[in-house]
């Protein structure tokens, strides 16, 4: 069984990352039936050097009947850079989008914060129920909206990509939390699709992962700290992995996680 009370990097990170990481873990425990997901050996916690600074990476992974992998990564580079990365990959048997969020914080504050529910359907659109609930959320006008990269056709119309200032950090936290809450509630109500449809949704996941692997910024940081071979393995087996076929999507842990996260 995974320990839910073990010390975490989030306690040393930017306040927004700390609060969002706790919100994510707590919502997962509140709404979903979690069990253990096994990462490749040695990748739960990793240390390296990046431009002379100590780099620490903490990974926590869970799974549920609806999600084959729920990954929360926290990274800290010295006292200069804090990173949060979270992705929830659904099992292909469920017609669910991919929840993802990232925050990058430096000494000058948050430089980038993104949250979305990326469609995995062949049409790359969200279902009516998702669209209805997301549209009903309070509208927030952030002062600095970031431009998505050219490869980012994987995101939905509700994608939030901003540089939040001052009180806007709380706005980002609450809006992202609402995305996550809606996603968890929709997931537990969802029903499985036919084998033919499963192949289509799995293709949507593969497309998402292929696009995310084009993120040169992430790859360059990992290559500088750990080398090209390690970075490639980490990108394809930890950050954005996907099974080759639907039969490989299975529960790999039976231990149930109980209790609140600290």
Distances (CA, A) of 49 to 52, 70, 77, 159, 246: 6, 27, 8, 33, 38
Task: Please give the pLDDT value at position 245.
Answer: 60
Helix (H, G, I), strand (E, B) or coil at 38: coil
Structure tokens at 36: 């253990």
pLDDT surpassing 50 at residue 253: no
Domains delineated in the chain: 9-248 (3.40.1500.20)
Task: Tell me the average pLDDT across 180-192.
Answer: 97
pLDDT surpassing 80 at residue 233: yes
pLDDT surpassing 70 at residue 260: no
Q: Are 100 and 86 in contact (CB under 8 A)?
A: yes
Give the range among 60-64, 191-195, 201-205, 238-242 with minimum mean pLDDT: 238-242
Helix (H, G, I), strand (E, B) or coil at 150: coil
Task: Tell me the average pLDDT across 158-168.
Answer: 95
**For residue range 116-158, what is the model confidence (pLDDT) as tens digits?**
999 999 999 999 999 999 999 999 999 999 999 888 899 999 9
133, 89, 105: which is closest to 14 by C-alpha?
105
Q: What is the dihedral angle through the alpha carbons of 47, 50, 53, 59, rounded to the nearest 10 degrees?
A: -30
Compare 192 and 255 and report the one with higher pLDDT: 192
Structure tokens at 135: 């549209």
**For residue range 5-63, what is the model confidence (pLDDT) as tens digits?**
456 899 999 999 999 999 999 999 999 999 989 888 889 999 999 889 999 999 999 99
* Mean pLDDT of the residues in the chain: 89
Q: Name 256's bridge partners.
A: 35
Task: Tell me the average pLDDT across 197-207.
Answer: 94
Give the range among 158-172, 186-200, 232-246 with minimum mean pLDDT: 232-246
pTM confidence score: 0.89
At 150, give phi and psi (nearest 5°).
Answer: -60, -30
Helix ranges restricted to H, the chain: 15-31, 128-135, 168-189, 195-212, 216-226, 228-234
Q: Are 104 and 83 in contact (CB under 8 A)?
A: yes
Task: Please give the pLDDT value at position 71.
Answer: 97
Task: Please give the pLDDT value at position 261.
Answer: 37
């Amino acid at each position: 069984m995974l320990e839910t009370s073990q010390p975490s990097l989030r306690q040393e990170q930017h306040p927004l990352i700390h609060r969002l990481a706790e919100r994510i873990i707590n919502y997962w425990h509140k709404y979903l039936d979690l069990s253990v997901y096994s990462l490749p050996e040695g990748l739960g916690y990793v240390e390296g050097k990046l431009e002379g600074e100590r780099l620490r990476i903490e990974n926590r992974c869970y799974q549920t009947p609806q999600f084959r992998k729920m990954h929360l990564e926290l990274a800290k580079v010295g006292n200069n850079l804090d990173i949060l990365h979270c992705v929830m990959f659904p099992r292909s048997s469920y017609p669910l989008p991919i929840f993802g969020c990232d925050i990058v914080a430096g000494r000058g504050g948050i430089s980038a914060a993104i949250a979305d529910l990326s469609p995995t359907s062949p049409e790359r659109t969200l279902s009516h129920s998702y669209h209805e609930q997301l549209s009903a959320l309070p509208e927030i006008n952030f002062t600095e909206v970031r431009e998505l990269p050219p490869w980012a056709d994987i995101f939905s119309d509700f994608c939030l990509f901003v540089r939040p200032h001052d009180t806007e950090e709380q706005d980002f936290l609450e809006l992202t939390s609402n995305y996550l809450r809606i996603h968890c509630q929709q997931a537990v109500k969802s029903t499985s699709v036919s084998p033919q449809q499963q192949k289509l949704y799995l293709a949507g996941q593969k497309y998402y992962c292929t696009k995310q692997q084009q993120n040169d910024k992430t790859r360059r940081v990992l290559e500088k700290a750990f080398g090209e071979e390690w970075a490639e393995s980490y990108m394809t087996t930890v950050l954005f992995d996907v099974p080759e076929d639907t039969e490989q999507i299975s529960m790999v842990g039976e231990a149930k996680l109980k209790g609140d996260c600290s």
